[in-house]
Amino acid sequence: MDDPTFWKAVLLVAAPSCFYLGFRHWRLARLIEDTPMSRIRSAAQGYVELSGAAGPVEAKPAVAPLSQLPCVWWLFLIEERCGTGRDRRWETINRGVSTAPFRLADETGDCLVDPAGADVRPGSVNVWSGPDPWPRGPAPAGRQLLNWGDYRYTEHRIPIGARVSVIGDFRTLGGVGASDVTGEVAALLADWKKDQPALLKRFDANGDGVLSQDEWERARTAARALIEQRALVAATPTANTVVRPRDGRPYLVAASDLKKVAWRSRLTAGLLLAGFVVAVGVLAALFLEPG
């Protein structure tokens, strides 16, 4: 580890990574601070910040898959303990995330929130372990400190009634036309492409590691069915919906005060940019050091 070449390579990767991530966190903090809070009834079409109580769209609420607790949004991860000794590690064997819209209500009205493509910061998490690939029985409250068994379960949730803040595109939808469906399908497929292993696992029927034309058409059909299902929900009498911005601006759903999110983002940005400065300084010293 005393080889200067090794540290030069590490710092050449670390410096731009710190700068990029620091800029992203700084940009998110500025965006939160510069976007005024709107009331749902008087919110203008476009990029807005809203806050209210989260609730289900239908009378029967969704339940989180692992804990079976009612909620409006969930994400779960199941990992298996693999290897022995120093090579012991956790490997992901199953994961899933909710994509169903939920209702957001303040004192002036309500709207739907489509979590697809959002940076979701949930307010509840359970982490526990067990001997089976799928947990048996209810999840323990909070975090379980002792890990027993070869499987670890992690579940994030937004509980019903939680105070949720959202920054995204506010649109009034009265149904979705063909051109809108096409654009939404393309955006959803682009999201799926970012996770190639999951995409292949779902649609690569022959297991050759490449999606054929027929397999890709199956993926496109599945994406279109999902978009049309969301369109049916969006076409309810409450047609105001918050969705991911098409211009690439951040889409944030947080079960916490956005001021705290902005403060954490600024702190993280400061630490990362400080790391960038240090990395550049050390890198310069290494390159200027006599052979």
Torsional class of 196: left (φ above 0), alpha (ψ -120 to 50), beta (otherwise): alpha
pTM summary value: 0.66
pLDDT of residue 176: 44
Which residues pair with residue 92 across a beta bridge?
79
CA distance readout (Å), 89 to 23, 83, 84, 168, 222: 32, 6, 8, 37, 34
Pair (64, 102) in one structural domain: yes
* Residue at 28 is within a domain: yes
Pair (27, 96) in one structural domain: no
Domain boundary among 128, 147, 169: 169
Pairing mode, if any, of strands 252-254 and 119-121?
A: parallel
* Residue at 71 is within a domain: yes
How do the pLDDT tens digits run along the chain, 291 residues long?
566 677 778 778 888 888 888 888 888 888 888 788 889 988 888 999 999 999 998 878 888 888 888 999 999 999 998 887 778 888 999 989 988 899 999 999 999 999 988 999 987 888 888 888 888 766 666 555 455 778 999 999 999 999 999 999 998 865 444 445 666 777 788 888 888 888 888 888 777 877 787 778 888 888 887 876 666 555 555 468 999 998 888 899 998 777 777 788 788 888 988 988 888 888 787 777 765
pLDDT of residue 34: 78
CA distance readout (Å), 111 to 167, 171, 228, 245, 258: 13, 10, 19, 16, 19
- The residue assigned the tokens 């910040």 is 49
Pair (6, 95) in one structural domain: no
Pair (64, 101) in one structural domain: yes
* Residue at 132 is within a domain: yes
Pair (4, 79) in one structural domain: no
Any long-range contacts for 148-151 (C-beta under 8 Å, 24+ apart)?
150/80, 150/81, 151/78, 151/79, 151/80, 151/81
Pair (123, 25) in one structural domain: no
* Residue at 229 is within a domain: no
* Residue at 78 is within a domain: yes
- Tell me which amino acid residue 166 is: V
Phi, psi torsion values for 110, nearest 5 degrees = -145, 170
pLDDT of residue 59: 77
Pair (93, 7) in one structural domain: no
CB 38 within 8 A of CB 59: no
Pair (28, 123) in one structural domain: no
The total domain count for the chain is: 2
Pair (57, 156) in one structural domain: yes
* Residue at 291 is within a domain: no
* Residue at 198 is within a domain: no
Q: Tell me how far apart the alpha carbons of residues 42 and 82 are, in angstroms, rounded to a whole number.
A: 54
Pair (72, 153) in one structural domain: yes
* Residue at 194 is within a domain: no
Pair (24, 130) in one structural domain: no
> Domain containing 80: what range?
50-109+117-169
Q: Tell me how far apart the alpha carbons of residues 18 and 9 are, in angstroms, rounded to a whole number.
A: 15
Domain boundary among 154, 169, 184: 169
Sign, CA torsion 208/212/218/220: positive
Pair (5, 64) in one structural domain: no
